[in-house]
Chains A and B, each alone.
Chain A
Amino acid sequence: MIRILFLRFALAICVLDVGKACFAQSGFAGLGDAGDGYEKVSANRKFSFPVDHGAHPNYRIEWWYLTANLTDTNGTPIGLQWTLFRNALRPPSDDAVNTEQDNEQFTNKQTSAGWQNSQFWMANAAITTVDQHLYKEKFGRGGIGQAGVTLNPFNAWLDDWTMVGKEGSGLELAVLEANGANFSYELEIKANGPFVPQGENGYSIKSPYGQASYYYSQPFYQAKGRLIIHGKVHDVIGTAWLDREWSSQPLAADQTGWDWFSLNLNSGEKLMLFRLRTKGIDRKSKNKGSSGEPGDKSALADTPKEFTSGTWISADGSPENLQGRTILFSPKTYEKIAGRDIPVAWRVSIPSKGLDIDTVPLNAKAYMETVFPYWEGPIRFSGTHHGQGYLEMTGY
């Protein structure tokens, strides 16, 4: 009755278009923003596992990015994506809780810091078949236990989407879960090869001006699991590729987007390639690549329209840095999606490696109309080499 006498005040709530604003701070669209106050990426840093599987909160942005090329028991090809992004909204100097040295301590502090923690998390999950592309995104705040990454055992999560490592395994053996409106999946991944540093021992240069990130991959996962798509169960097996990357300013200010390939060659070799586009590039034309060395004045003088790089990974996991080699990307077919022309089929060649392939998408409509929209989907390729992989394109 007391409750009734104190009649409830009308409670109003604001419904807000948030994610965009959040990631506009320094998300995809802001990857080129100056990383002042954050820790800087430098060459000659050695990865240390499993610690580096965890979060590096003093850097502005970081991701755990897994893609998988799967087939179900009927042989139907299916692509899968599980990604978690961490984004620091303020430099660590403002945020006393972050210590990179002790990740476990960091996560504990992160929890205890409550809402005042400045880490912002975003996750995307998707499933792509020939005729369907299902996806969902989630957002969360650090410091309250809604999202984070812990070690021993490895656990990366946002709400009920998780990547959980097997006790004592680091990330050699893990289970991923995610779901959306018409899909859910559980995927077990097992590494059959080593973690591979990209770029120069993990120092991955992104522009002629020296922007770079720390970048390593695990391209040797064998995957098996169960997907439910529109209520139908698919038991699947296949391969998966994990990318781990963190930086405070991975892109130059004038870089507007990238085309990124992860390729599983039938020979057992792996190939990672990317092209970063600069403002003013004619996106429809074939561009001759320029791969300036960092600080290369001539590269600056040429005002290159794109920056290309990659890593050739042997079947036993030895990386060969392709930085400085000629890598040619030519769009072949465009698909009109959401009012944009997106090059979904490519011709890619690396003359020095005798590679000349044509890629085709499993589903040309694999467009993520998320807060920051991008194209992400499974591809097949043929030519001098055959195989399958994943293509990601942003900034179109």
Chain B
Amino acid sequence: MQLDNQLLILFFTLASHWRQKPLQLATMIVGLAAATALFSGVQALNEEARASYAEASDILGANQFSSIVAKDRQTFPQEKYIDLRRRGLPVTPVIHGSVKIDGISINLMGIDIVTLPQSNAPVTLMPDPSQGSDNATNQFDLVKFITPPWQAAASPVLIDRLRISPDTTIDAQDHGSLPPLFPLKTVPPQTIILDIGAAQSILEMAGVVSELFYVGDHMSPQHRKTIISLGFDILDPGQENDIEQLTSSFHLNLAAFGFLSFLVGLLIVHAAAGLAFEQRRPIFRTLMACGINRSTLMFSLTLEVMIIAIVAGTIGIFLGYIIAASLLPDVSKTLQGLYGAVVADTLVARPLWLLLGLGMSIAGAFIASARFVFQLHGLPILKTAYPEAWRAKQSQSLRWQSIGAGLFLILLVISNIVGSGLLKGFVMMGCLLCAAALLLPACLTGMLALASRFFSKTVLLEWFFADTRQQLSGLSLALQALLLALAVNIGVGTMVGSFRTTFTSWLDQRLAAELYVNPGDNVSYREIENWLSRKKGVKAVLPAAFKEARSGGLPLSIFAFTPNSIYRDHWPLLDKSPDAWDRLKSTENVLINEQFARRENVWAGDSVAVTLADGEKTAQIVGVYSDYGNTKAEIMVPLSTLTAWYPATEASLFVVRADPSLVSELVNDLKNTFSLNDKQLIDQQALKSFSVAVFEQTFLITNALNVLTLIIAGIALFTSLLSLATARLPQLAPLWAVGVPRAILSRFELARALVLALMTSVLALPLGISIAWMLTAIVNVEAFGWKLPIIIFPGDLFTLMVLAAGTAFASAFVPALQLRRTSNAQLLRLFAQEK
């Protein structure tokens, strides 16, 4: 009981410090909360996405079944499906489409539940018990599912979002009404699964199907032959994009950002904790002199850290949730636009995530303050409080920091040599950032020494540089945080900017024609071709075709085009033989995309083997074209070459050159004459804006996180300066005593922050560009198979430097103001205390 009381008294005695310094407490909590918020926010985003993938991959047809599709990838008559069934092939039909409900675009997937496999069913279309509804109409009913007016399955998330009560039909803006929904957790969030008959009726696609899944155990060669002979292409499982793999770079990127922000946040906590410790040294000394033993004191301090960590962690998790919830729709749009991955856009708070966030907050608080708590252990009871003691030690650590930086650089070189894959890129980036951060104090010291040689015109200026150098150790953590934030900003900014510029000009080149017509199976190609060529304003109709093939056992698409100046003049070639376009006239020569070139390391002048259904062709590469956005290897040949290789080739796409002003009229005419839909007619402008929109969306989150990281770095700088300001008074007092006005001194304080921030941002420039290089030349190639040229945007870099200076100024403003307002009495007292 006595002990408890003692502990309580001790705790409140120590805590009284925070009552006097609420700002300090606020900084500590803000730092920890910000660190936790960004870390757990990013964590929540990744968790949500992963959970969505996991749900989707359970039922992802692409992972399980071979897909049978029409050569032109359009719908085909369902009689063809029946034909295959009547030949004994275990296939099941699927139809895809989309509808808009309340402005939200929803994928409709029509299935035939009856021909889906009965055995080893990973999912059963049974009501979700967690819905706990006793409403009988909410239950799945097979007869209701397959007979009009039908019933459809959707994820509970979607049902919630649409605020639909069961058993009511839903108004789909463009397609009449949808059947009542019932909740099924296994349905991807943006999808409604329903009977194929219902889907055909809603989508007005009677009698056609989009693809067939081969649901047998193993496709016999005979079945394969039958399918091909009926004019289908077979996409084997795995040939489709693997979402996990595709999106891993995106999530790694997010995670790296989250972790970086967490570290920066911890630096803030470290600074605040250090300050609090320093300022309480006299209390510790007094308490120990009064007989409180060290371990009780340490325990009490630990308890304090724990309480702060829990409070800040809780705030952080709350903020993290808000960040994640507000970014999730963008993340989900990005993932969907870029990779076709469907992610719920409503956040679910997962208990594990809450615990992890809180755990990280507590662990972070301990890591950041452990050093000070343990310092108590060796604190001499009667030694005068000497606030600068721990800082003085830091100068010794400069050498150790340089050694550490050297080790990180060695690791960087090693990982460049032996590493592979995405991880290599990120490990290298991590090493570079750590090395740079560790080298920063040494670099700044050097720069300051150099500067003092040139600018130390007066004694005061000399003092300024010497003093700044001395302050460096106290500010280095905050400056390191600033360096990292700036470098990552520059790196990501440069990468995004380079990507945007390259991508936009590439789109201009690739989409040089005004209109692309993809008529599908139901319309005669000849008829459209004739119609188009007679049309006013049409300059050229260039048939093209796609064909699936293989090379070296891996899937490969062949894009066959009709030679025209549009390709010769605009097609972006990264590498080419002389007269590449002329040489394409020979059926021995091909162009390949960058992905293929990098994957196989073959370039202009090398040869490739292409495996077609009826044999293998060897061709020479005469050029390599950039193909951003494609995930697969592709080769490009004139239509005549493909026909020579594969006589059954039929055009499936028309590239139309037309008077731009007549395009919209042409589109309408085509729609009316041949009943083509929007998917079958793509005009260049629409496609470009769509692509650019998808692209912009992709980096929206990156930018948001960038800004948040910079804000946290600003807070770190502010906290450090604040903590220094009080500790520095004893050093400033003599200057004031010899006649330097406080206004000048406070201006020096501001100038110091500016100089250091500018020097840091100058150092961040090469570092940031190195990061950009790693992102574009290593991470990008590993993740997507293409390399981006780096384009430096001086304007952006300048803006960032101004921003850094602004951050420094804002951070230094309050401490400078405090100094200015310090009373004479306060300054005099410092002398009285002989500190």
Any chain A CB within 8 A of the CB of B124? yes
Q: Whole-angstrom distance from the CB of B210 to the nearest CB of chain A? A: 9
Q: Is the CB of B60 within 8 A of A114?
A: no
Any chain B CB within 8 A of the CB of A146? yes
Any chain A CB within 8 A of the CB of B107? yes
Query: Could you tell me which residues of chain A, from 332 to 373, have a CB within 8 Å of some CB in chain B?
Result: 371
Q: Is the CB of A15 within 8 A of B116?
A: yes
Any chain B CB within 8 A of the CB of A232? no
Cβ proximity bits A1-37 to B, threshold 8 Å, 1 near / 0 not = 1111101111111111111111011000000000000
Any chain A CB within 8 A of the CB of B384? no
Known: A5-B687, A7-B338. A179 touches B191 (CB 8 A): no
Known: A5-B687, A120-B114. A11 touches B125 (CB 8 A): no
Q: Is the CB of B629 within 8 A of A5?
A: yes
A-chain residues with CB within 8 Å of residue B249 when the two chains form the complex: none
Any chain B CB within 8 A of the CB of A116? yes
Known: A16-B123, A16-B124, A139-B114. A3 touches B546 (CB 8 A): yes
B-chain residues with CB within 8 Å of residue A94 when the two chains form the complex: 147
Q: Kindly report which residue of chain A lies nearest to residue B198, judged by CB atoms.
A: A115
Known: A13-B94, A115-B195. A7 touches B339 (CB 8 A): yes
Q: Kindly report which residue of chain A lies nearest to residue B141, judged by CB atoms.
A: A21
Q: Whole-angstrom distance from the CB of B85 to the nearest CB of chain A? A: 5
Q: Is the CB of A12 within 8 A of B56?
A: yes
Q: Whole-angstrom distance from the CB of B557 to the nearest CB of chain A? A: 8
Q: Is the CB of A160 within 8 A of B88?
A: yes
User: What CA separation (Å) do A114 and B337 show in the bound complex?
Assistant: 35
User: What CA separation (Å) do A140 and B241 show in the bound complex?
Assistant: 31
Any chain B CB within 8 A of the CB of A331? no
Q: Kindly report which residue of chain A lies nearest to residue B510, judged by CB atoms.
A: A1
Known: A22-B142, A120-B114. A10 touches B62 (CB 8 A): yes
User: What CA separation (Å) do A239 and B207 show in the bound complex?
Assistant: 43
Any chain B CB within 8 A of the CB of A296? no
Known: A2-B682, A5-B629. A12 touches B124 (CB 8 A): no
A-chain residues with CB within 8 Å of residue B107 when the two chains form the complex: 9
Any chain A CB within 8 A of the CB of B359? no
User: What CA separation (Å) do A114 and B201 show in the bound complex?
Assistant: 10
Any chain B CB within 8 A of the CB of A254? no
Q: Is the CB of B88 within 8 A of A179?
A: yes
Query: Which of A19, A114, A157 meets B206, CB within 8 Å?
Result: A114
Any chain A CB within 8 A of the CB of B765? no
B-chain residues with CB within 8 Å of residue A12 when the two chains form the complex: 56, 59-61, 109, 187-188, 191, 193, 342
Any chain A CB within 8 A of the CB of B696? no
Q: Is the CB of A2 within 8 A of B123?
A: no
Q: Whole-angstrom distance from the CB of B330 to the nearest CB of chain A? A: 17
Q: Kindly report which residue of chain A lies nearest to residue B216, judged by CB atoms.
A: A181
Known: A12-B56, A12-B60, A114-B200. A21 touches B142 (CB 8 A): yes
Any chain B CB within 8 A of the CB of A90? yes
Q: Is the CB of A15 within 8 A of B59?
A: yes
Query: Could you tell me which residues of chain B, from 79 to 116, have a CB within 8 Å of some CB in chain A?
Result: 79, 82, 85-88, 94, 96, 107, 109, 111-116
The interface size of chain A toward B, counting residues with CB under 8 Å, comes to 42
User: What CA separation (Å) do A145 and B82 show in the bound complex?
Assistant: 6
Query: Which of B85, B111, B124, B201 meets A13, CB within 8 Å?
Result: B111
Q: Whole-angstrom distance from the CB of A97 to the nearest CB of chain B? A: 12
Q: Is the CB of B197 within 8 A of A13?
A: no
User: What CA separation (Å) do A19 and B96 show in the bound complex?
Assistant: 24
Any chain A CB within 8 A of the CB of B559? yes
A-chain residues with CB within 8 Å of residue B187 when the two chains form the complex: 12, 14
Q: Is the CB of A14 within 8 A of B340?
A: no
Q: Whole-angstrom distance from the CB of B203 to the nearest CB of chain A? A: 13
Q: Kindly report which residue of chain B lies nearest to residue A15, judged by CB atoms.
A: B121
Q: Is the CB of A1 within 8 A of B559?
A: yes
User: What CA separation (Å) do A157 and B82 show in the bound complex?
Assistant: 12
Any chain A CB within 8 A of the CB of B603? no
A-B interface contact total, Cβ < 8 Å: 169
B-chain residues with CB within 8 Å of residue A89 when the two chains form the complex: 143, 146-147
User: What CA separation (Å) do A90 and B144 show in the bound complex?
Assistant: 10
A-chain residues with CB within 8 Å of residue B120 when the two chains form the complex: 15
B-chain residues with CB within 8 Å of residue A90 when the two chains form the complex: 143, 147
Any chain A CB within 8 A of the CB of B486? no
User: What CA separation (Å) do A140 and B112 show in the bound complex?
Assistant: 9
Q: Is the CB of B687 within 8 A of A17?
A: no
Any chain B CB within 8 A of the CB of A175? no
Any chain B CB within 8 A of the CB of A144? yes
User: What CA separation (Å) do A157 and B85 show in the bound complex?
Assistant: 11
Any chain A CB within 8 A of the CB of B169? no
Q: Kindly report which residue of chain A lies nearest to residue B55, judged by CB atoms.
A: A12
A-chain residues with CB within 8 Å of residue B690 when the two chains form the complex: 5
Q: Whole-angstrom distance from the CB of A207 to the nearest CB of chain B? A: 25
Q: Is the CB of A14 within 8 A of B339?
A: no
Any chain B CB within 8 A of the CB of A141? yes
Query: Which of B112, B124, B340 meets A8, CB within 8 Å?
Result: B340
Known: A12-B188, A159-B88. A18 touches B340 (CB 8 A): no
Q: Is the CB of B340 within 8 A of A17?
A: no
A-chain residues with CB within 8 Å of residue B113 when the two chains form the complex: 14, 16, 18
User: Which of the listed residues A94, A116, A371 has the most CB atoms from chain B within 10 Å of its own CB?
Assistant: A116
Q: Whole-angstrom distance from the CB of B243 to the nearest CB of chain A? A: 6
- Given A12-B187, A114-B197, A157-B86, output 5 extra A-B contacts at Cβ < 8 Å: A1-B559, A13-B59, A21-B142, A115-B196, A159-B88
Binding site for A on B (CB under 8 A): 56, 59-62, 64-65, 73, 78-79, 82, 85-88, 94, 96, 107, 109, 111-118, 120-126, 142-143, 146-148, 153, 184, 186-188, 191, 193, 195-198, 200-201, 206-207, 213, 240-241, 243, 336-342, 510, 516, 518, 546, 559, 627, 629-632, 634, 653, 682, 687, 690-691
**What would be 25 A-B contacts, judged by CB atoms less than 8 Å apart?**
A4-B629, A4-B631, A4-B634, A9-B342, A12-B191, A12-B342, A14-B153, A14-B184, A14-B193, A15-B117, A18-B116, A18-B142, A19-B114, A24-B142, A25-B142, A90-B143, A115-B146, A141-B112, A141-B114, A141-B115, A144-B82, A145-B82, A145-B86, A146-B85, A159-B86
Binding site for B on A (CB under 8 A): 1-5, 7-22, 24-25, 89-90, 94, 114-116, 118, 120, 139-141, 144-146, 157, 159-160, 179, 371
The list of the 7 closest CB pairs from A to B, nearest first, reads A115-B197, A160-B88, A21-B142, A13-B61, A16-B125, A145-B82, A9-B340
